[in-house]
Chain A
Amino acid sequence: MALLELKQVTKVYQVGTVAVHALRGIDLMVEKNEYVSVMGPSGSGKSTLMNVIGCLDTPTSGTYILDGKTVHDDRIEQSSVGKLSDDDLAFVRNQKIGFVFQTFNLLPRITALHNVELPLIYAGIHKKDRLDMAKEALRKVNLEDRMHHQPNELSGGQRQRVAIARALVNNPSIILADEPTGNLDSKTSREIMQLMDHLHDEGNTIILVTHETDIAQHAHRVVHFLDGLIASDEFTPKGKG
Chain B
Amino acid sequence: MGQLFESVIMAIKAILQNKTRAFLTMLGIIIGILSVSLMGTAISGIDEVFENSIQGMGQDVLYVQKYPWFMMNDEWWEYRNRPDIEEKYAEQILERASTIAFATPSTGRRSDVKYGKNAVERVEINGTTWQEAYISALKLESGRFFSEPESRYGTRVAVIGYDIKTSLFPNEDPLGKEIIIQGNTFRIIGVIAQQGKFLGLMSMDNIVTIPLNSLKNIFGGRWGMSISVKPKEGVTVEQAKEELMFIMRGLRGLKPQEENNFSINQQEAFRQQFASIRMAISVVGIGITALSLIVGGIGIMNIMFVSVRERTKEIGIRKALGAKKNIILFQFLSEAVIISLIGGTIGILITVGLVGLLQKFFVARLSIDLIIISLSVSVITGILSGMVPANLAARLNPIEAIRYE
Residues of A with Cβ closer than 8 Å to B?
A: 51, 54, 56-57, 86-87, 90-91, 93-95, 99, 101, 105-107, 109-110, 118-119, 121-127, 130, 166
Residues from chain A with Cβ under 8 Å of B313 in the complex:
105
At the interface, yes or no: B82 with Cβ under 8 Å from chain A? no
Contact across chains for B321 and A122 when beta carbons are under 8 A apart: yes
Contact across chains for A56 and B321 when beta carbons are under 8 A apart: no
Binds A, one of B139-147, B245-253, B323-331: B323-331
Further pairs besides A54-B320, A56-B402, A121-B3: 13, Cβ < 8 Å: A56-B399, A86-B325, A93-B320, A93-B322, A94-B321, A105-B317, A106-B317, A107-B317, A118-B318, A122-B3, A122-B327, A125-B2, A127-B2
Q: Which residue of B lies closest to A99 (CB)?
A: B320
Contact with A along B302-314 (1 / 0, CB 8 A): 0000000000011
Q: Which residue of A lies closest to B402 (CB)?
A: A105
CB-contact partner of A90 in B2, B324, B399, B402, under 8 A:
B324
Residues from chain A with Cβ under 8 Å of B402 in the complex:
56, 101, 105
Q: Count residues of chain B with CB under 8 A from any CB of chain A.
A: 22
At the interface, yes or no: B319 with Cβ under 8 Å from chain A? yes
At the interface, yes or no: B13 with Cβ under 8 Å from chain A? yes
Residues of B with Cβ closer than 8 Å to A?
A: 2-3, 6, 13, 17, 313-314, 316-327, 398-399, 402
CB-contact partner of B2 in A51, A56, A107, A130, under 8 A:
A130
A105-B317, A107-B314, A109-B17 known; A123-B322 Cβ under 8 A:
yes
Contact across chains for A91 and B322 when beta carbons are under 8 A apart: yes
Contact across chains for B319 and A51 when beta carbons are under 8 A apart: no
Contact across chains for A91 and B324 when beta carbons are under 8 A apart: yes
Contact across chains for B3 and A51 when beta carbons are under 8 A apart: no
Bound-state Cα–Cα, A105 to B320, Å? 10
Bound-state Cα–Cα, A92 to B17, Å? 32
Q: Which residue of B lies closest to A94 (CB)?
A: B322
Closest 6 CB pairs of A and B: A94-B322, A122-B322, A87-B324, A119-B321, A90-B324, A121-B6
Bound-state Cα–Cα, A54 to B323, Å? 14
Residues from chain B with Cβ under 8 Å of A123 in the complex:
322
Q: Tell me how far the C-beta of B203 lies from the nearest C-beta in chain A, rounded to whole angstroms.
A: 64
Bound-state Cα–Cα, A101 to B6, Å? 23
Residues from chain B with Cβ under 8 Å of A110 in the complex:
13
A-B contacts, 20 listed (Cβ < 8 Å): A51-B399, A56-B320, A56-B402, A57-B399, A86-B325, A87-B324, A91-B322, A93-B319, A105-B313, A105-B317, A105-B320, A106-B317, A107-B314, A118-B321, A119-B322, A121-B6, A122-B323, A122-B324, A122-B327, A126-B2
Contact across chains for B319 and A90 when beta carbons are under 8 A apart: yes
Contact across chains for B322 and A109 when beta carbons are under 8 A apart: no
Q: Which residue of B lies closest to A47 (CB)?
A: B399
Q: Which residue of A lies closest to B401 (CB)?
A: A56
CB-contact partner of B322 in A51, A95, A106, under 8 A:
A95
Residues from chain B with Cβ under 8 Å of A95 in the complex:
322
CB-contact partner of B323 in A90, A101, A126, A130, under 8 A:
A90
Bound-state Cα–Cα, A118 to B314, Å? 12
Q: Pick the most buried of A56, A99, A124, A125: most chain B CB atoms within 10 A of its CB.
A: A56
Residues from chain A with Cβ under 8 Å of B325 in the complex:
86-87, 90
Residues from chain B with Cβ under 8 Å of A87 in the complex:
324-326
Bound-state Cα–Cα, A36 to B321, Å? 22
Bound-state Cα–Cα, A122 to B328, Å? 11
Q: Which residue of A lies closest to B1 (CB)?
A: A124
Bound-state Cα–Cα, A11 to B119, Å? 99
Residues from chain B with Cβ under 8 Å of A86 in the complex:
324-325
Bound-state Cα–Cα, A125 to B322, Å? 13
Residues from chain A with Cβ under 8 Å of B17 in the complex:
109
Contact across chains for B399 and A93 when beta carbons are under 8 A apart: no
Residues from chain B with Cβ under 8 Å of A105 in the complex:
313, 316-317, 320, 402
Bound-state Cα–Cα, A118 to B6, Å? 9
A56-B399, A121-B6 known; A90-B322 Cβ under 8 A:
yes
Bound-state Cα–Cα, A142 to B6, Å? 26
Residues from chain B with Cβ under 8 Å of A106 in the complex:
317
Bound-state Cα–Cα, A121 to B324, Å? 11
Bound-state Cα–Cα, A196 to B377, Å? 54
Bound-state Cα–Cα, A181 to B321, Å? 20
